[in-house]
Structure 1
Amino acid sequence: MKTLNSYLSETVINMKPSGIRKFFDLAANMEGVISLGVGEPDFVTPWNVREACILSLEQGFTSYTANAGLYELREKISEYLFKRFDLQYDPAEEIIVTVGASQAIDIAFRSIINSGDEVLIIEPCFVSYAPLVTLAGGKPVSVSTFGEEEFKVNPEILEKYITSKTKAIMICTPNNPTGTVLSKKELEAVAQIAKRYDLLVVADEIYAELCYEDEYVSMPSIEGMKERTILISGFSKGFAMTGWRLGYIAADRVFARAMLKVHQYSIMCAPTMAQYAALEALENDEDVLYMRKSYQRRRNYIVQSLNEAGLFCHMPGGAFYAFPSIKSTGLSSEEFAERLLLEEKVAVVPGNVFGQSGEGYIRCSYASSMEQLQEAMKRIKRFVQSL
């Protein structure tokens, strides 16, 4: 018999494991660690949402739903997108409820990519984008952004990466890990490129509810972009529902029908009880505003503290991440993160795991209590001074 490894897919063998997990695993075996690495809310899902799930179980709603999800949930998502972002999607044919935004991104790529197609990925970015493009048979092409420009997309640089094989542009706003929010003008610049070269845009807007300064603008609301955009979102971040694993796609029915094929064969449908919970979350969302205001206070504190510690950090416009530069220390991102963990027991994520343009930075999540943030900032300041 051949070695077991010889049976594995070469694509999977060559794929690197998530760089985020390395530091989580190290921290898990240490006592007294303060983690600023976890990318999830520290709030428990609001009680009314949990209660809706419990009620659905008590009423025996434990069967499959339609592949695309509960129709009443798709209706409510459609209403939410119209009221919140002035977007119009047909709940019957243009919205699919998915197992988290991650599955939504996966089936989006698998539905549009042919072998060898290129997808431009704006970096720094979430760690799953490039691997999911690869698994779909495509080629991820990294497009760097820079801290000096607050990690905004530079249209001139973006355009240089376009080839005859380019199929789509992948963006995330508010961005994980930088917290950068693209304005309407900046989205329009990306849209002009997409239209000029006849490209699609896959827009990850999972953090849209966590935008702190200006009114949030969604990519498909830009003129001429609804039919070119596959909108990815969900309930994990803004609604504090990470463990429920519930996201959704909104797209033109041509794309939605194709993605529904992949979805129905790979997943069948999202969990029924989670869908009833999400329905309640959209109908009664008062807690979202409270959580957003709390994150905003913590954002202001952590950014000021990092700058006072000598780690320059731009003010993120959304999400719950600060992305300070550690270049002044002379350490690489991984060296800084590892030493900070071992010497001061603070876990952060090295910026290079989010792409090469993240080298020289670290990601700090401020989805922690103010008490933990204050103690973490004391330790980080002490660590930087020791260098």
Structure 2
Amino acid sequence: MFQFDSNLIQVELGNKAMQVFATKDTRGILDKLVGQAPPGWADDLIRATNQLKDKLEQEGIILPRVLFVPSPELPPKMFRITLGVAADDFDVYKDNYLAALEGKVRAYQIPNLTKESVGRLLNESLGYMLQKKFQEAMEVSMRVYYLGSQVEYSTARVASLLNMAGICLLNSKYEEAYTAARQAQLLVEKDGFYDPYLKFCVHKTIANVAALNKSYKDSAELFYQAYLDIEPSGDEQYIIDALYNEASVLMVMNSYKECTNVLDKIVSYIKNSDEYDKEILLKLYEMRAFIGDFTAEELGARLDDLKRNYDELSRSFLLKAQDTALTIVSKCGPCLITAFAGAVMGGDKYFTVSQNNVNGSNIIGVGVKVS
């Protein structure tokens, strides 16, 4: 099975492919008698791959170290080459491994690769997302993830993974969305990753996937982690976003006491903020009082009232909050809040956004320079 946070290029092998690629034992009887070690399983394959690496380097093309992985899940005669997160399957009896690997590497490479060129690719993928060309956005995002590693551009890699996760969510592919978001989590939790907005969006994405999979306890904890990510920035809109999502999941869990505590925290932010009007604050007080006035059993019997109050409060947030991400929701769909917001809020000096929405107005986010 493909392993994230490992080698950038992985070759998975079915059982028959393992046999085909196995190095033949050419030792003589005497060599065996004196205890000469047998060849390694894929010595010839590794040697040929290293020769290809040397050849490509002469042309300025980088071939990262390749990891070979047995994969019983693949059909026996198939092998799969994965660059970053983009995988293609090949038939060991019909396809040449070296030619397939070289073709994929050449197709992904950019001449004179720099952070700026990777940033332009990321911009391109975002443009496709705004146009709802999700297949094109996915393909370009995969290239960003792969090439970003070669120039140590971690923020672009995280943004590309968030884009992929958003597209998977749109297609109800929750497992694939989790895989992409989980890899983004591995990147943002490494020492030295500085961007609180991307950390926030990564944890929020995984929290959303967990909620969709009905893993509500995990979801609530991840939304709380998103709050911790963004809280030092003082950005009230995203702080409240994380807290409100946490409260929503706690409500689904019937954890009304914990939900009340989170709503109290939201009130403390909103009552001192100029971003929200008194109507939202009033609805928050009503919601908090509604939950606080009844036991869990009584609330369970009044689910219709609870849902109506919650829907009214959610609608107030959606209509009143002046949030860039919410603007994008109306154009691309709710599942893209995290995907796009994560990319545009990176605040990275190499990353600029100059995309237009369908109304012709620029969509920008926190920390983004518009060219």
Specify the TM-score bucket, using the shorter chain as the normaliser. under 0.3
Looking at both structures, which has the greater relative contact order when contacts are Cα pairs under 8 Å and sequence separation is at least 6?
1
**Please, what TM-score do these two structures have when normalized by structure 2?**
0.24
**Please, what TM-score do these two structures have when normalized by structure 1?**
0.23
Structure with higher Rg: it is 2
